[in-house]
């Protein structure tokens, strides 16, 4: 017999298998000896009461052999001799998961990636952080794994396509992620673990007969009768395939430019803009956990606290974005003279700071001054803000920064608190980076956040500009049915860059969706039944 059971476990015991087994047996009214095994379905922290505890839901096997959930849904398949091949531009989550899906359908993927492999890329990140020198082809956004490699690795999505979510999580486990991502309410992989997972995906694709080529930047293509016949690579190479998946991410501005020059349909798209705020993690813990506030010591096993905030100011939504407990603020720029920040954390989330993007929704009225750029108006607006932030920082990717309370008053801070941002800080009047309306919305939102989280609005917190690559400022349209670009029959825009995803999970799911559509068009036979 199998039974779905929920139990409450003290935080300190939440990783103790024997205690969990005993509690499950008690809840199932069974002697512990009758429990042959259990499969965790969900694990979440409930910190509402004074003593936080963990809620666990599990399938319990009673007096029947235990069968563990099998995450290995992707055995090797030789696609080298496949009659069909697909070029994938970009090795981010969208491109890589599209490749895995194509292999399941018996189609050979050939990935071309402008950046370097994960290892070589790491060296460029060290140079960026320590010397303030950026490689425009190898940075936090470009290179193997895309923006999804040296990244926080939070795996939540607002999508409710449960079947696809489960498969993506299973695939992450298949390629080396820990099994807890399958049941944690807020799954998180961590920057230290992601590169090995990305490398394992690459090795699998190659072992199946697919290809991945680094330092290969798509710069142009040729067409005949509304189909691409050949793509051109910056090093002079020319490549052909039956279809092309374009998964170049939200920072490939040259790709948006190429579409515009070729008079292919693209549209300016709203995105969100703001800054990153950082507090001491202990302060956020004490705000979020009543136990710590009242009794001081940290409960063993209690994770560093997260938060989610939203405030509406003059019809503008101001909200927290990509909050990283125990994290680091990173320089996520892709160009010289443009400053972009984002956040990541290691799997243990054990850094002493809690950072979060705090961003405002940007709409058409905000990029009016850039309308001469047509569908690239929002992108030019985004770039102008990033240039202002770079100039305010004084160069070498030093970020303009201010104490949170000074930011809201518009006063330059005499001194800055400690901050995790490695390239360094420049004390500046950060509101000047933004159009006045946006600055004001941010300035009003922080005191309101302080009402919701007592202690949040403090001079111990610091703001760092600018958080501007929250999603793509351009949409590359695609036909609802074929998922191809309306003017190019064999080009499939995909992932975050084309405007169909926001985050690792949704980008990976969109990669699968496009690959499945191509397989349907090619009428190939799937290798396994996939629970879509």
Span near ligand FAD by CB under 6 A; candidates 135-143, 281-289, 420-428, 429-437: 135-143
In the stretch 152-171, what mask flags binding to ligand FAD with x, by CB under 6 A? xxx-----------------
- DSSP of 217-274, one letter per residue? -EEEEEEETTEEEEEEETTS-EE--SEEEE---TT-HHHHHHHHHTT---EE--EEEE
Residues of this chain, 418-477, that bind ligand FAD according to CB under 6 A: none
> Which of 193, 208, 216, 71 has its CA nearest to residue 142?
216
How many residues touch ligand FAD (CB under 6 A)? 43
Helix (H, G, I), strand (E, B) or coil at 27: helix
Cis peptide before 392 (omega within 30 of 0): no
Task: Give the β-pairing of 271-280 and 353-362.
Answer: antiparallel
**What's the rounded Cα separation, in Å, for the pair 10 and 8?**
7
Minimum CB–partner distance for residue 44 and ligand FAD (Å): 18
Q: Which of 9, 89, 272, 389 binds ligand FAD (CB under 6 A)?
A: 89
Binders of ligand FAD among residues 202 to 231 (CB under 6 A) are 217-218
Minimum distance from residue 140 beta carbon to ligand FAD (Å): 5
Would you give the DSSP letter of residue 367?
G
What is the distance between the alpha carbons of residues 394 and 399, in angstroms, rounded to a whole number?
Answer: 8
Contact status: 249 vs ligand FAD (CB under 6 A): yes
Work out whether 93 is an interface residue with ligand FAD (CB under 6 A): yes
DSSP 517: H
Determine if 346 is a binding residue for ligand FAD (CB under 6 A).
no
> By C-beta, is 344 or 456 nearer to ligand FAD?
344
Instruction: Name the one range near ligand FAD by CB under 6 A: 35-43, 249-257, 307-315, 405-413.
Output: 249-257
Query: Under the criterion CB under 6 A, does residue 92 sit at the interface with ligand FAD?
Result: yes
Told to check if 109 binds ligand FAD by CB under 6 A, we report: no
- Token pair 């002493």 in the structure block, residue: 352
Of these, 202, 288, 503, 517, which contacts ligand FAD (CB under 6 A)?
503
Could you say whether residue 259 binds ligand FAD (CB under 6 A)?
no
Contacting ligand FAD (CB under 6 A), which of 403, 495, 512, 524? 495
Q: Is 135 in the site for ligand FAD (CB under 6 A)?
A: no
- The helix/strand/coil state of 291 is helix
Q: Around 512, how many Cα atoms within 13 Å sit in the side-chain half-sphere?
A: 22
Phi, psi of 175 (to 5 degrees): -100, 15
125 binds ligand FAD (CB under 6 A): no
Q: In angstroms, give the least distance from the CB of 137 to ligand FAD.
A: 7
Beta strands in 345-486 (DSSP E): 353-362, 399-403, 425-427, 462-467, 474-475
Among 106, 146, 331, 493, binds ligand FAD (CB under 6 A): 146
Length of the chain: 532
Residues 6+ apart with CB under 8 A from 55: 6, 7, 8, 9, 42, 43, 44, 45, 46
Q: Which is nearer to ligand FAD, 52 or 303 (CB)?
A: 303
Please, which residues have CB within 8 angstroms of residue 391's CB and are 6 or more apart in sequence?
337
Query: Min. distance of Cβ 253 from ligand FAD in angstroms?
Result: 9
In this structure, how many other beta carbons lie within 10 angstroms of the beta carbon of residue 37?
15
Question: Quick check: bond before 466 cis, omega within 30?
Answer: yes
Q: How far is the CB of 257 from ligand FAD (least distance, A)?
A: 10
147 binds ligand FAD (CB under 6 A): yes
Please give the residues from 305 up to 334 whose contact with ligand FAD meets the rule CB under 6 A: 322, 330, 332
Tell me phi and psi for residue 110, to 5 degrees. Answer: -125, 110
Looking only at residues 350 through 409 of this chain, which bind ligand FAD when binding is defined by CB under 6 A?
none
Choosing from 79, 103, 124, 140, the residue that interacts with ligand FAD (CB under 6 A) is 140
CB-nearer residue toward ligand FAD: 400 or 497: 497
Binding stretches for ligand FAD (CB under 6 A): 89-95, 112-115, 140-143, 146-148, 151-154, 217-218, 247-249, 252, 255, 322, 330, 332, 342, 344, 495-497, 501-505, 507
């Amino acid at each position: 017999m199998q039974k779905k059971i929920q139990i409450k476990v003290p935080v300190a015991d939440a990783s103790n298998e024997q205690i969990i087994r005993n509690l499950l047996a008690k809840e199932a009214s069974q002697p512990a000896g009758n429990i042959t095994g259990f499969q965790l379905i969900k694990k979440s922290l409930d910190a509402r009461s004074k003593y936080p505890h963990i809620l666990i839901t599990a399938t319990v096997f009673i007096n029947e052999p235990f069968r563990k959930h099998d995450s290995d849904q992707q055995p090797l398949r030789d696609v080298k001799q496949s009659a069909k091949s697909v070029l994938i531009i970009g090795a981010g989550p969208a491109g890589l998961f599209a490749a895995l899906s194509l292999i399941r359908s018996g189609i050979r993927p050939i990935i071309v990636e402008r950046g370097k492999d994960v290892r070589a890329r790491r060296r460029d990140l060290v140079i960026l952080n320590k010397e303030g020198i950026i490689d425009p082809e190898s940075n936090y956004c470009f290179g193997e794994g895309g923006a999804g490699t040296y990244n926080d690795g939070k795996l939540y999505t607002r999508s409710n396509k449960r079947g696809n979510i489960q498969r993506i999580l299973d695939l992450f486990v298949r390629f080396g992620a820990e099994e807890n991502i399958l049941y944690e309410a807020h799954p998180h992989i961590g920057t230290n673990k992601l590169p090995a997972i990305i490398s394992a995906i690459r090795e699998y694709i190659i072992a199946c007969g697919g290809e991945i080529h680094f330092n290969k930047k798509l710069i142009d293509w040729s067409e005949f009768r509304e189909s691409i016949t050949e793509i051109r690579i910056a090093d002079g190479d020319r490549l052909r395939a039956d279809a092309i998946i374009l998964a170049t991410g939200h920072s490939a501005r040259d790709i948006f430019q190429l579409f515009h020059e070729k008079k292919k349909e693209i549209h300016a798209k709203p995105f969100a803009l703001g800054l990153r705020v950082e507090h001491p993690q202990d302060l956020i813990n004490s705000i979020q956990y009543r136990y710590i506030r009242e009794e001081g010591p940290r409960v063993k096993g209690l994770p560093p606290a997260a938060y989610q905030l939203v405030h509406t100011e003059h019809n503008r939504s101001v909200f927290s974005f990509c909050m990283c407990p125990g994290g680091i603020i990173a320089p996520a720029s892709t160009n010289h003279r443009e400053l972009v920040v984002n956040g990541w954390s290691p799997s243990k989330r054990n850094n002493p700071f809690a950072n979060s993007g705090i961003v405002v929704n940007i709409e058409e009225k905000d990029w009016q001054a850039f309308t001469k750029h047509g569908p690239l108006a929002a992108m030019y607006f985004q770039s102008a803000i990033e240039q202002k932030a770079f100039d305010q920082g004084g160069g070498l990717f030093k970020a303009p920064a201010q104490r949170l309370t000074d930011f809201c008053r518009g006063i330059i801070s005499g001194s800055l608190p400690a901050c995790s941002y490695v390239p360094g800080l420049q004390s500046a009047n950060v509101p000047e980076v933004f159009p006045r309306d946006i600055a004001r919305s941010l300035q009003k939102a922080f005191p309101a956040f302080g009402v919701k989280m007592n202690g949040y609005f403090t001079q111990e917190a610091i703001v760092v500009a600018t958080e501007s690559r929250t999603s793509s400022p351009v949409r590359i349209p695609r036909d609802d049915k074929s998922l191809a670009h309306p003017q190019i029959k064999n080009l499939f825009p995909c992932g975050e860059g084309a405007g169909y995803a926001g985050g690792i999970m949704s980008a990976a799911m969109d990669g699968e969706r496009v690959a499945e559509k191509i397989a349907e068009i090619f009428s190939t036979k799937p290798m396994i039944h996939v629970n879509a």
